[in-house]
Structure 1
Amino acid sequence: MRNVAIVILVAVVLAKSTAAQSAEPAATNSDQQIAEYFRAETQKLTDRTFADIETLEDWTGKRPEYRRQMLEMLGLNPMPPKTPLEPVVTGTLEESGVIVERLHFQSMPGLYVTANLYRPSVQNEKLPAILYVCGHGGERQDGKSLGNKTHYQHHGAWFARNGYVCLTIDTVQLGEIEGIHHGTYREKMWWWNNRGYSSAGVEAFNCIRSLDYLQSRDEVDGDRIGVTGRSGGGAYSWWIAAIDERITAAVPVAGITSLKNHVVDGCVEGHCDCMYMVNTYRWDFPMVAALVAPRPLLITNSDKDRIFPLDGVVDVYTKVQKIYDLYDARDKLGLQISEGPHKDTQELRVAAFRWMNRFLREDHSLIEMAAEPLFEKRDLRVFEELPEQQRVTTIHESFVPKAEPGDLDVDSPEAVRALIDRLRQRTFRGWPDSPEPLNVHSSAVEGGPSQAHVIEFTSQSPFRLPIYVLQPDRDPNAPLDVLILDQDGWKKWAAGLSVLFPGHVPGVKPDPEVAAAMQRMTEDRNTAFIVPRGVGPTRWTDDERTQTHIRRRFMLLGQTLAGMQIYDVIRGLETLRQTAGLEKSVVSIEAEGDAAVWGLYASLFVDGIDQLNLENLPERNRDAPDLLNVSRFVELNDVVNAAATRLVEK
């Protein structure tokens, strides 16, 4: 690493005035801008779904790669090793012709899956099996979780009374050993994105191992296995049916809808992280459904479900018809809509039961038996005392492998180029493939110092962003300091910018003291302030909850807010190269905190930078702004070392 080229600072070098710290962004049309952005980006992904698929050969040729992508987005590529399940039955109950076993197994060492296995009391042959995956129906007694398997016991009982073996498994969040589904939603663990981790991946892997367990049972016909579940269980039904062809028939209930519903219509705000893969490859959800084809698939939902709206459910069904038609298998794709809210209704159950009977038992008879619970919930609990060596509560720390510091060979130019390519494909895939024209407009500032002018450019529609430039040295080869501002940086300097650029920093109270400090700092140096989207003039909200769900919308689009802010910095640097008097400048980047991370990554994609002055740069990815998957292949200090190899020699 060339320490002279990259300066990592840990102290604030310029004082902040009280007025500058309290500067608030102007009230603009920023809320409309971000809404317009999400609509446009969502439409792009929707429009390209199956756009290049015309024949069955088109689909079957691409399908293996789509499946690989799906596994990667669930954190399952590479697939974790299949270690011994170590199953233990802790007790049995019998009622009304049904035996239920209380059991647990380990999908990987220490990752316990608690479950109930329902089977007929009398059995003379191998039976078809059902994997029932549970939604968010938690049950507790005396302060202890009974597992959501107890909430959904009536499904397992019905299947056993009608000639099936049914394994009902707890989820991580609401099982007897209580882990975390709500990493970004509630716990602010944005580093899950850096790690390429979603709790959906653990649920999918537990489903894979559940199929292994079912196939190990003598009572089960391992070639006839169905999956169903509702809400969260509906989503997990999608994951396992898409990635594991041992599933013969699938009935996801209220578990999928369109990307538009989630991003544009706001359904993301009603869902935790377990409902979503890390959308690296920028899919709309019909892509998940299509991976089930041509196996029997019934999509079921109710018509007043606010978190899985009817229009999106029908949209998924309509689009996936194209793939089933290519297989000439329309009879294996169904859509069943019942009246009601987001609830486990009898109408939804009956449809699922009939579908499984039809495709697993070749039985078309009417359903005459209601699904009713047979056991006390407390009696279905597996553990009296939870195992001390469990990893359920911390599985997010280790489920997806991560890079370690020093893994990157920065002395190898090929390794650095490979890193940049990997970042572009797996971290910044959400950047536009074809950048828009910058449409640069530069204007002098009336009432400000003579060296001040404002540049506006289009980074990505609808975001038109400002660069505030102080240019005392008109020599075209003069060095240029580029300060990148995050929201804290904006608060630090906005009151001074308001003095130096009157009329161009609306809504911010001017502070002459901050302006004087800025003029002293820049009196013999050309200086530009880049302000990415979501900062200062384009700040859309300060409400924490709203900010959380805006960031989650970016995630669903295969982006992160920080990743797109890095793109804005790159576009801003390109804009400066197109500005008269600055096009030949050698550029130094100065940034602090989050902006230091933006500047660091931007330097990997822009030539002609001679120095990075990075203040309060986080020490590791975990503490840095979230960027999809980055921790899978590089740690932050290696990014610093890679950036140093690209800097212009002085």
Structure 2
Amino acid sequence: MFSLKFHLLGSFVAFSLIISTSGDAQDSTTSTGDELLARYFAAQTAIVTKDSLADVKTLEDWTRQREERHAQLQEMLGLKPWPERSPLKPVVTGTHTREGVIVENLHFQAMPGLYVTANFYRPEKQEGPLPAILYVCGHGGVKKDGVSYGNKTHYQHHGAWFAKNGFVCLMIDTIQLGEIEGIHHGTYKYGMWWWLNRGYTSAGVEAWNCIRSLDYLQSRPEVDGEKIGVTGRSGGGAYSWWVAALDDRIKAAVPVAGITNMHNHVVDGCVEGHCDCMYMVNTFAWDFPMLASLVAPRPLLISNTDKDRIFPLDGVVDVYAKTRRIYELHNALGNIGLNIAEGPHKDTQELRVNAFHWMNRFLKNENPLIDVTATPLFTPEELKVFDELPKDERVTSIQESFVPMASDTLPQTQKELDALRTTAMLKLMYRSFLNSPKVPGSDVSSSKPTQSWESDEATLSVIEYRPDAVYSLPMFVLKQKNVSKSKGVRVFVCDAELWSEINPRLATQFPDCPYFSKVQTSKTEGKLPHHRPGETLVILPPRGVGPTAWNTNEKKQTQIKRRFALLGQTQDSVQIHDIVQGINTLEEMKEVPLHIQGRGQAADWLLFASMFISKDSKIDLVNLSDDLRDGPYLLQVSQFLTKPQALLIAASQVKSLAVQCESPEQDAAWGSVEKVAQQLGWKKDKFNVQPSQ
């Protein structure tokens, strides 16, 4: 029997969860769930923080793992393997000169159709190649009459200063706030949770655009290609980190207001103020000092203000202190600095001056007084690249193609299925479920029986099991009275929809049982799911459902899901973990064989849980969505698996699996899988599909 591979879970500290108490009023009916979730996030964050760089004691330790860490970052940004370095096809569309500064309006293609709009600043008088700055822009949009001029126009004063002081500077637009307006806020705003399945983040596109910007800079005769620095603030601070960590051509970096630690993001709630472009898909559960350490031993100035609400001072200092230790191992303490200016999250002169000093010092070996202020020289219209946007642009749809997906080919032979299953199971364990929780030094599914309640018709008992160090989850066992021998055990994986149906019924039938809400949640008395007379009925709600439900506000739900992803998990992955541990608990109690059913979202969970439970189980999946785009959402799963392939693997792992369709789309998708099953010689009692009516 396959089993999930888990990391150890250390001790936890209880914190108040910002998402349940700020903004919208907290739902009193979810107070227990909110408190548990807060404790869980604090505990998982403590593990991530503790594990980050903990095994680096010597320079040899760091040197030995740096290449692997670099590859992990590449993967978490959706850049593994590296995309093809296709021709840039640069085009200069206009030039302006003012106060000794020439600015060129230009575009190039980081990938075919992935246009990068930019301004290239250089001195009007130049003798020979000069050090270059890649300036990456934060979230400072400039629009007039609905037309976007790009955030490069908002930050133009930086480019002008560098050109006035003996540098050339390439300032690029982002894909969200550029002249071509793409999407950063996939999970933050648009509910595109399938980005997690793809292993896609808008941060990856920004990182690639930065790397290709270095290619462009090195192609220009005005540039000394061995002296390139990067800087930017806010979102631009984050992109500075990506490119400096990934590309050693960056010789000096000043990320401004672009980093803090995991505790600030998850426990203190800073994630709620950040868009997707600030985060890698954190498959390997990094804390942010790991990212910063990849820049060592190259010159790095970490710059921030002391009253920045979304990059708090304590977290910034923590990142600096842990990164400084890596520089110390390199004997390069002179190459790392911490600049803290007074003020909020704002582009202040104090921050700019220190960045200018740093680039002068490390790219020009100079340290002059800064006697020229950074002021804008051009109108937004003068800096615009396109009069008309290109029809072949992929900026607005790049999320659909940036990360390669798994082939949708279904295996046609047992040998092909075995090979697919072996590869997919390893990827699931070492990618999608890599950071699933575990209790240290004990049986993860340890359970305890609790009291029972009786009605005229049935006996209700509760089994509590521990899927991790924080949660103790209940399963509800209903046995009919006057039945001498159970005719089997039917387990219903319970999502929020099913809970809303059974809660009023069980609350009425067992009024003294504290797990069921006495608040009338339905106009009807509720109902139990269909099962055969004489069967023992088990209701299995994972965390976040029923007694442990957390805040139901849609915006808060979004930020809860984003927190899970920051910790290298997903909400679905931990709920699947709970289901596996609950089923394993029942198996250990000898309540076999099990007949397990899930409907809708619960069917999505059970599809993947089926791959990790007893081979004697019988599985029913009702209204199973036909595409991973609709869930479940598991880190990187779409890179190596499609949903029809997952169904074949699940069916091969259990005694029987049945799919009940409820739409023509499901008929088509699961019908194609049934044909493969027949080709493999599987009988109807092994795998069958019931089409929709």
Per the alignment, residue 449 of structure 2 pairs with 442
AA at the equivalent of 1:460:
D
Q: CA RMSD in A?
A: 2.0
Asked if the contact 1:499/1:512 (under 8 Å) is kept, the reply is no
1:537 corresponds to 2:547:
yes
CA distance in structure 2 between the partners assigned to 1:594 and 1:512 by the alignment? 20
Provide, for residues 34-60 of structure 1, a one-character-per-residue CA deviation record: whole Å limited to 9, x for no partner.
111111100101011111111111101
> Is the alpha carbon distance of 1:40 and 1:243 closer, same or farther for their aligned partners in structure 2, counting shifts above 3 Å?
same
Is the 2:245–2:291 contact (alpha carbons within 8 Å) kept by the matching residues of 1? yes
1:458 paired residue number: 466
1:117 aligns with 2:120: yes
1:238-249 counterparts in 2 under 5 A? 238-249=241-252
Question: Given the superposition, is the C-alpha separation of residues 263 and 513 from structure 1 closer, same or farther in structure 2, using an over 3 Å criterion?
Answer: closer
Match of 1:88 among 81, 86, 91: 91
CA contact (8 A) 2:447 2:585 kept: yes
**Equivalence map 1:500-511=2 (5 Å):** 500-502=509-511, 503-509=513-519
Per the alignment, residue 627 of structure 2 pairs with 620
TM-score (norm 1): 0.93
The 3 A distance-change label for structure 1 pair 584 and 537 is closer
Equivalent of residue 613 in structure 2, options 603, 606, 624 = 606
Residue 433 of structure 2 aligns with which residue?
A: 428
Please list the CA deviations of residues 71-127 of structure 1 after superposition, one character each: whole Å capped at 9, or x if unmatched: 000000011100000000001000111100000000000000000000011111110
Query: Superposed, which structure 2 residues align to 1:34-433 within 5 Å?
Result: 34-406=37-409, 411=414, 412-432=417-437
Residue-by-residue CA offset, 1:521-554 (whole Å, 9 max, x unaligned):
3532122110100011111111111111011000
Q: Which amino acid aligns with 2:295?
A: V
Percent identical residues: 53
Deviation of 1:407 (Å): 5.1
**Partner Cα separation in structure 2 for residue 512 and residue 118 of structure 1:** 65
Secondary structure of the 2:56 match is coil
Which moved further from structure 2: 597-606 or 28-37? 28-37
Task: Select the residue among 480, 484, 507 that pairs with 2:493.
Answer: 484
Deviation at 1:406, TM superposition (A): 2.4
**Separation (CA, whole Å) in 2 of partners of 1:421 and 1:53:** 27
How far the C-alpha of 1:143 sits from its partner, in A, is 1.3
The aligned runs of 1:5-16 (5 Å cut-off) are none
Task: Give the superposition deviation at 1:26.
Answer: 4.3
Aligned position for 2:504: 495
For 2:41 and 2:594, the matched residues in 1 are separated by 33
Aligned-partner Cα distance in 1 for 2:259–2:412: 43
Q: Judge conservation of contact 2:506–2:516 (CA < 8 Å) in 1.
A: no
Deviation, 1:301, is: 0.2
Number of residue equivalences: 624
In 1, distance between residues paired with 2:391 and 2:223?
32
Aligned twin of 1:20: none
Q: State the Cα distance separating 1:33 from its structure 2 match.
A: 1.0
Counterpart-to-counterpart distance in 2, 1:260 and 1:112: 36
Displacement after TM superposition at 1:142 (Å): 2.1
Aligned AA (2:567): L
Q: Deviations over 1:608-643 (max 9, x none)?
A: 343221111110100113111111110111100111
Contact 1:498-1:511 within 8 A present in 2 as well: no
Provide Cα deviations, 1:268-302, integer angstroms capped at 9, x if missing partner. 00000000000000000000000000000000000
TM-score in terms of structure 2 length: 0.87
CA distance in 2, matches of 1:516, 1:366: 76
* Structure 1 residue runs without a partner (length 5+): 1-23
1:433 Cα deviation after fit: 5.5
Give the deviation of 1:429 after TM superposition. Answer: 1.1
Residue 286 of structure 2 aligns to a residue in which SS? coil
Counterpart among 491, 509, 525 of residue 535 in structure 2: 525
Instruction: Tell me how far 1:445 sits from its aligned partner.
Output: 2.3
Match of 1:642 among 626, 629, 649: 649
Greater relative contact order, per chain length (Cα 8 Å cut-off, separation 6+): 1
User: Residue 128 of structure 1 aligns to a residue in which SS?
Assistant: strand
Cα gap change, 1:410/1:645 in structure 2, threshold over 3 Å: closer, same or farther? farther
Unpaired runs of at least 5, structure 2: 1-26, 657-684, 686-693
Quote the offset at 1:408 in angstroms.
5.4
